[in-house]
Structure 1
Amino acid sequence: MPSLVSQRMPEKMSTERAALDELLGSTVLAHVGLVVDGSAVVFPTGFAVIDDRLVIHGSTGSRWMRAIAAQEVSVTVTKVDGVVVARSTFESSMLYRSAMLFGRFETIDPADKPAVLDALSDRFIPNRSAEVRPSSKKELAATVALALPIDRWSLRVSADWPEDEESDIAGDAWAGFVRFGAPSATAEAAPDLRDGIEPPASVHELLAHPERIV
Structure 2
Amino acid sequence: MSNSSENVLPVTQRTKIRRVPQRGQYERQVIYDILDEGLVCHIAFAVDNQPFVIPTAYGRVADRLYIHGSPASRMLRSLQNGIEVCVTVTLLDGLVLARSAFHHSMNYRSVVIFGTAITVENSEEKLVALHAFTEHVMSGRWAEVRPPSFLELQGTLVLSLPLDEASAKVRSDPPLDDEADYSLPVWAGVLPLQQKAAAPIPDPRLHSGITLPNYVHNYTRKYEREEQ
Amino acid at match of 1:202: Y
CA RMSD after TM alignment: 1.8
Aligned residue in 2 for 1:29: 40
> In the TM superposition, what whole-angstrom CA distance separates every residue of 1:5-58 from its partner, at most 9, and x where no partner exists?
233221221122222122111112100000123210001111111121011110
Aligned residue in 2 for 1:118: 131
Residue of 10, 13, 19 corresponding to 2:30: 19
Residue 179 in structure 1 maps to residue 192 in structure 2? yes
Task: Tell me if the contact between 2:111 and 2:169 (Cα under 8 Å) persists in the aligned partners.
Answer: yes
Residue 59 in structure 1 maps to residue 46 in structure 2? no
Residue 95 in structure 1 maps to residue 107 in structure 2? yes
Structure 1 unaligned residues grouped into runs of 5+: none
- After superposition, where does 1:1-214 map in structure 2 within 5 Å? 3-70=14-81, 71-112=83-124, 113-205=126-218, 208-211=219-222
SS of the residue corresponding to residue 190 of structure 2 reads strand
SS of the residue corresponding to residue 80 of structure 1 reads strand
Task: Tell me if the contact between 2:36 and 2:136 (Cα under 8 Å) persists in the aligned partners.
Answer: no
The 2-side partners of 1:58 and 1:120 are apart by 11
Amino acid at match of 1:65: L
SS of the residue corresponding to residue 72 of structure 2 reads coil
The 2-side partners of 1:139 and 1:12 are apart by 43
Task: Tell me if the contact between 2:85 and 2:114 (Cα under 8 Å) persists in the aligned partners.
Answer: yes
Instruction: Give the superposition deviation at 1:128.
Output: 1.3
Matched residue pairs, number?
Answer: 210
> In the TM superposition, what whole-angstrom CA distance separates every residue of 1:127-163 from its partner, at most 9, and x where no partner exists?
2121122211111111011111111012111122212
Instruction: Give the superposition deviation at 1:195.
Output: 1.6
Instruction: Give the superposition deviation at 1:211.
Output: 4.8
Structure 2 unaligned residues grouped into runs of 5+: 1-11, 224-228
Amino acid at match of 2:116: R
SS of the residue corresponding to residue 167 of structure 1 reads helix
Amino acid at match of 2:36: G
The 2-side partners of 1:10 and 1:114 are apart by 39
- TM-score where L is the length of structure 2: 0.85
